[in-house]
Amino acid sequence: MEVDQAIRGSDDMRLKTKYNNAIYVIQRALALYSIEEVALSFNGGKDSTVLLHLLRAGYFLHKGEQSCSNGGLTSFPLRTIYFESPSAFPEINTFTYDAASRYGLQLDIIRSDFKSGLENLFKANPIRAIFLGVRIGDPTAVGQEQFSPSSPGWPPFMRVNPILDWSYRDVWAFLLTCKVQYCSLYDQGYTSIGSIHDTTPNSLLCISDSSGHKEKFKPAYLLSDGRSERAGRVKKCSPISQSSPVAEDGLDDPESQVKRMRTGSAIAVGDEILSGAVQDELGPLLCRKLRSIGWSVSQTTVVRNDIDSVAEEVERQKSSNDLIFIYGGVGPLHSDVTSAGVAKAFGVRLAPDEEFEEYLRHVIGKHFTGDRNEMALLPEGITELLHHENLSVPLIKCQNVVLLTATNPTELEKEWECLVDFTKSVLTLMEPYESKSLTTHLSDVEIAQSLSKLCMQYPDLNIVCHRKSRAGPLVISFEGKEEARIESAAEALRKKFQDGVFSET
Ligand SMILES: Cc1cc2nc3c(=O)[nH]c(=O)nc-3n(C[C@H](O)[C@H](O)[C@H](O)COP(=O)(O)O)c2cc1C
Ligand SMILES: Nc1ncnc2c1ncn2[C@@H]1O[C@H](COP(=O)(O)OP(=O)(O)OP(=O)(O)O)[C@@H](O)[C@H]1O
Ligand SMILES: [Mg+2]
């Protein structure tokens, strides 16, 4: 088996370990299920190409036919399923069909959606387990293990993920070491492939060309930082809309994306704030920052340094906010429980993150205690590291929760600027809020009814009243996205009272 020989002949120890583990998972699956009961889910992408070759190697090792050569294997009795969509790249379809004929795959092309396609497949075949090329870091890997039963609401089967723990680098090390063919798009700068509507070449691989000619891209295997693998993928939808219905092909209408309101919240983790010893300065600053980019803020809360308190609060807020910013409780101290709380809220475990560990090793130097350093433990499968040249350690984003390490306003300013730089992937800049304030010495009773009516007339505006003191003036703020509406509301209020009752601040 050429793939097996190529890996065994390589001196890449990390690749060997990953390969051996994947082959072990495949052999466990082949021991548990008969060959008729398993299927390979293949879509011509790089991950499923790795999986295809691992399965061929695993199958023939399982059969004890180690002397077979790649070219000589004409039949591979594993059922292979491909969900073909009209918006697939033609190069992906061509590669998938070619691979099927080259490796003698029994290819079932399914043109319906995943769930009903699988239901029909199970009606006609005794399939109980499906091999997938899902890797930690893929949005769909959240909460998965190497053997994970299908999700509730899906037809029942076992998802087998032999390359769950493989990194981007591991994938390319394997494909290049084994010298196997992969889809031609990866040589044109594509690093992760979805549909023609949501995938572009990765701009980090762009070869700048001052002549203004067509852009050129380096091949995918030259992407040095695997964390940017999905940089060419247009964000499908923001975290909040994942629970709301999206279009048939999974894409949100770009126009409604721009118009939709964005809501953020802030959670401070700190017993010192709750005891009154320290004042939270970051919550108010975050509110101002969010407002400055046109987001609304749903709430700021303070919770105790305790895993369950953090988990309960994140759990409560995660589906009603686009982003939650959490700060405090991040680090190696006994009270630093924030990442554990976030992991618990999403029902995943904490696991060592190799990339984060590298950063910590660099920053902490000789004091870094390797695997035992709990700072390198991050929520598994849901963590994205937000790397920025101005940060010595990347920020951590778990689904729609951003863990900030700032402990004071100056540090927060710096982290915020980096977050704004990630506009496309993290913060969507919205039309900023406009505001205007009027002050008056009218009493609350005198103005209450007029204000209530005004709120009904201008439901698109936020009309907020506050007093600095009981005896002092009442401040009325009009906030909204259209200046003309604000002016109109202020004018409407003025007209209800005598001239000179209001002054502008
Ligand atoms: C064979 C197969 C089985 C799947 N099983 C599940 C599942 O059990 N639960 C689930 O939420 N999604 C399941 N999915 C959907 C994937 O998680 C994911 O949404 C899909 O591969 C599309 O990925 P993309 O959005 O990156 O293109 C399955 C997909 C395939 C092809
Ligand atoms: N349309 C599909 N048909 C069959 N299997 C699919 C399909 N889409 C996804 N899968 C399965 O899900 C796995 C993960 O998909 P994902 O898009 O992350 O990886 P990939 O397509 O192999 O590579 P890339 O990340 O470069 O796009 C695939 O390897 C494959 O097993
Ligand atoms: Mg893909």
Tell me the pLDDT tens digit for each residue of 303-352: 999 999 999 999 999 999 999 999 998 877 777 889 999 999 998 888 88
Confidence of residue 239 (pLDDT cuts 50, 70, 90): very low
Establish whether residue 45 lines the binding site of ligand 1, counting it when its CB lies within 6 angstroms of any ligand atom: no
Establish whether residue 321 lines the binding site of ligand 2, counting it when its CB lies within 6 angstroms of any ligand atom: no
Helices (H), 73-201: 90-102, 114-124, 168-177
Residue 159 in tokens: 């998802």
Interval between CA 114 and ligand 1 midpoint (Å): 7
pLDDT at res. 38: 97
- The structure's pTM equals 0.58
Crossing angle of helices 409-421 and 282-292, in 10° steps, is: 30
Establish whether residue 192 lines the binding site of ligand 2, counting it when its CB lies within 6 angstroms of any ligand atom: yes
pLDDT at res. 139: 73
* Ligand 2 atom with the shortest distance to the CA of 84: 1
pLDDT at res. 213: 66
Q: What is the dihedral of CA 341, 346, 351, 355, to 10 degrees?
A: -100
pLDDT at res. 225: 81
pLDDT at res. 243: 33
pLDDT at res. 424: 62
Q: What percent of the chain is helix, strand and coil (3-state, nearest 5)?
A: 40, 20, 40
Pocket test for ligand 1, best of 114, 235, 382 (most atoms within 8 A of CB): 114
Interval between CA 129 and ligand 1 midpoint (Å): 14
Tell me the pLDDT tens digit for each residue of 20-37: 999 999 999 999 999 999
- Residue nearest ligand 1's atom 24 by CA: 194
Q: Which long-range contacts (C-beta less than 8 Å, at least 24 apart) are formed by 482-487? A: 482/434, 483/434, 485/458, 485/460, 485/461, 486/434, 486/435, 486/436, 486/461, 487/436
